[in-house]
């Protein structure tokens, strides 16, 4: 049947309906909060960016953030939104002060969309503006005005307060992870020295900007004191560590650009060129940048980002009629870094030694790498080890960020996931036995060990995570001793050789149910003892209860429930006060007395392991 195409076919959606039908255009993916780029964090950021813009313009040195369950409250102490325009700012698309560059010359958001998206996607959205001893308040739900309060007198300090609850009809049973929120807020204070952010009562503050950022986020000591350089509209911090790969933190106008962009490309190129010229030798760029840890912040007038979530800079110029981003960064790095190295010969000598060591290691494994690549082709990676998906992660297209690969143990678990997965976005990599413990080994093992060589090739992370093929790398092992050991060995591998996989929040653990409780009418899959008891209580007399002893016991027909829309992923996080090298030494090094004492002190018997089926 041919669809009739007429005037009735043409429809116009109002602003809130369009946002609710197409949320991906405004906040990227929805998600449930288990990933740092899930929509609920973008909503928080969209509101918070307005408070940051106020601070950047010199108004308000404090922002309060409170998250209780699913309710978010953000209160700044800036100028407050002009009271007569409060409804327009919260609910009229393309409305805001940021079009006037005299007021917001170098702000984060320019399109007047962000806070409207938060409004439309929230079950409750309450906004108040405190201004010159008066307050205006409006309450919305799903973008619709519920109550428009009259302007009244107040003794409150100037500023804006937004309280919102993301809509469960869109986001499902979501939850905010404090680790993700704290990371976001810490980056805000690093980029805005002098700003105090209070998150659930805890104060975040930075005096030294990017210097503090590197000190707080490095997993070990730098090889030399951090080089911290500042200029007009630019700040950089650089050192080298002992880890593999390159690690960058980049920002534009106080906004973290986790996907990089034109400024990061220019910065990496400028570092290599400046160091080559300083040492008067044409070192390979990979040797110069190997183990680098750096942060870059620039301020751009009217920045252009490659998506609404503003994680990748697309601008090529610093201002509509000004110098290019590339030339601006090149000029600053060439002058400031070159001057610093001339004035600090000790640091220059340490850096030179690091470059020479990287060069030596690279040449030592170059032959092995070539053989490893050939071996990967010969074993037919895509047929034997990897059941690939059709769509891969591409940082240029955030809507394609759902691609997932499951790393499984054993043929039965691999078979169950393979049969129940979504072939468009979910891939499966099968392990053959337990991986090697890579603690204390150098990167040669990545190429000499067939399992790791093939895994690295499947993920496409040899040159770093910029071109990673899957946004989510999910370790799917049994919840027994052997499964836990495999998890630990894989995490050790990533921490040792590809730490950015963890730092960029790509690595997760698949949570699968421990119990199935059912009767003839209902079935509950339970992930904990508490959930099991609740299910038994709900089903009443004589339900059937099964304990899953391994992933291979779960049929493909059931597995589809656990890796579909309701998938439960536990992110592998490296917390701010944890050192990767110290953890690896303690857990994966030799059996020291301190580790033996730790095992004895924390030994416990799981009652679930001996519980009989009822």
- 448 close to 372: Cβ distance less than 8 angstroms: yes
| CA neighbor of 357 nearest in space, from 279, 281, 290 | 290
- 94 close to 139: Cβ distance less than 8 angstroms: no
Q: Does residue 289 carry a pLDDT above 80? A: yes
Provide the pLDDT for residue 157. 93
Judging by DSSP bridges, how do beta strands 144-148 and 134-141 pair with one another?
antiparallel
pLDDT tens for each residue of 453-491:
889 888 988 887 878 889 899 999 887 778 888 998 999
Q: How many CB atoms lie within 10 A of CB 104?
A: 21
In angstroms, the CA 392 to CA 401 distance is: 8
Work out the pLDDT band at 306, boundaries 50, 70, 90.
confident
The neighbouring-strand residues paired with 256 are 251
CATH fit for domain 16-204, picks 3.30.460.80, 3.40.50.10420, 3.40.47.10, 3.30.565.10:
3.30.565.10
Q: How far is CA 169 from CA 30, 122, 131, 205, in A?
A: 11, 10, 35, 36
CB half-sphere exposure, 386, CA atoms < 13 A: 25
pLDDT tens for each residue of 41-79:
989 988 998 898 888 888 889 999 999 989 999 999 999
Q: Does residue 574 carry a pLDDT above 80? A: no
Domain ranges for the chain: 16-204, 210-363, 379-512+549-610, 515-547
- 57 close to 138: Cβ distance less than 8 angstroms: no
In angstroms, the CA 82 to CA 97 distance is: 10
In angstroms, the CA 529 to CA 25 distance is: 40
Q: Please give the mean pLDDT across all residues of the chain.
A: 83
CATH no. of 210-363:
3.30.230.10
Task: Give residue for tokens 């409780």.
Answer: 517
Fold of 379-512+549-610: Rossmann fold (3.40.50)
pLDDT tens for each residue of 119-159:
989 999 999 999 999 999 999 998 899 999 999 999 999 99
Provide the pLDDT for residue 309. 62
């Amino acid at each position: 049947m041919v669809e009739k195409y007429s005037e009735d076919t043409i429809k116009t959606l109002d602003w809130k309906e369009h946002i609710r039908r197409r949320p991906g255009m405004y906040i990227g993916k929805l998600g449930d909060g288990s990933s740092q780029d899930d929509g609920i964090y973008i909503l928080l950021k969209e509101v918070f960016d307005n408070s940051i813009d106020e601070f950047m313009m010199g108004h308000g040195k404090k922002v309060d953030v409170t998250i209780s369950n699913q309710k978010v409250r953000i209160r700044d102490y800036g100028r407050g939104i002009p009271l007569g325009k409060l409804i327009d700012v919260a609910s009229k698309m393309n409305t805001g002060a940021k079009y006037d560059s005299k007021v917001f010359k170098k702000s984060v958001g320019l399109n007047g969309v962000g806070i409207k998206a938060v409004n439309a996607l929230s079950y409750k959205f309450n906004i108040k503006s405190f201004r010159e001893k008066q307050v205006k308040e409006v309450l919305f739900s799903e973008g619709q005005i519920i109550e428009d309060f009259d302007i009244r007198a107040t003794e409150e300090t100037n500023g804006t307060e937004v309280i919102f609850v993301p809509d469960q009809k869109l986001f499902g049973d979501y939850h905010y992870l404090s680790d993700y929120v704290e990371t976001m807020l810490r980056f805000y204070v690093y980029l805005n020295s002098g700003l105090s952010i209070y998150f659930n009562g805890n104060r975040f503050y930075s005096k030294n900007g990017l210097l503090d950022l590197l000190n707080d986020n490095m997993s070990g000591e730098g090889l030399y004191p951090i080089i911290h350089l500042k200029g007009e509209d630019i700040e950089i911090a650089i050192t080298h560590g002992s880890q593999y790969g390159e690690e960058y933190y980049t920002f534009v106008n106080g906004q973290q650009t986790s996907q990089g962009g034109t400024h990061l490309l220019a910065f990496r190129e400028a570092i290599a060129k400046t160091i080559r010229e300083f040492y008067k030798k044409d070192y390979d760029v990979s040797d110069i940048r190997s183990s680098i840890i750096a942060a870059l912040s620039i301020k751009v007038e009217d920045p252009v980002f490659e998506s609404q979530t503003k994680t990748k800079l697309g601008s090529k110029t610093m201002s509509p009629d000004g110098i290019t981003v590339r030339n601006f960064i090149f000029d600053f790095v060439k002058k400031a870094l070159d001057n610093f190295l001339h004035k600090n010969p000790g640091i220059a000598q340490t850096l030179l030694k690091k470059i020479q060591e990287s060069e030596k290691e690279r040449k030592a494994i170059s032959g092995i790498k070539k053989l490893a690549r050939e071996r990967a082709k010969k074993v037919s990676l895509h047929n034997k080890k990897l059941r690939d998906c059709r769509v891969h992660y591409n940082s240029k297209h955030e809507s394609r960020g759902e691609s997932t690969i499951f790393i499984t143990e054993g043929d039965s678990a691999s078979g169950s996931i393979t049969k129940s997965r979504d072939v468009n976005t979910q891939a499966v990599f099968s392990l053959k036995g337990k991986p090697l413990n890579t603690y204390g080994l150098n990167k040669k093992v990545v190429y000499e060990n067939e399992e790791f060589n093939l895994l690295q090739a499947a993920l496409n992370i040899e040159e770093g995570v910029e071109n990673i093929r899957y946004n989510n790398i999910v370790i799917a092992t049994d919840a027994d001793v052997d499964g836990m050991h495999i998890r630990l060995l894989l995490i050790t591998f990533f921490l040792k050789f590809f730490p950015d996989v963890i730092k960029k929040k790509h690595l997760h653990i698949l949570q699968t149910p421990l119990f199935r409780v059912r009767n003839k009418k209902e079935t509950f899959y339970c992930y904990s003892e508490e959930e099991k008891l609740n299910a038994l209580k709900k089903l009443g007399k004589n339900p059937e209860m099964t304990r899953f002893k391994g992933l291979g016991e779960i049929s493909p027909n059931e597995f589809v429930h656990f890796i579909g829309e309701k998938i439960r992923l536990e992110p592998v996080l490296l917390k701010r006060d944890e050192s990767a090298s110290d953890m690896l030494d303690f857990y994966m090094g030799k059996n020291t007395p301190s580790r033996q004492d730790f095992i004895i002190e924390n030994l416990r018997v799981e009652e679930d392991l001996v519980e009989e089926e009822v």
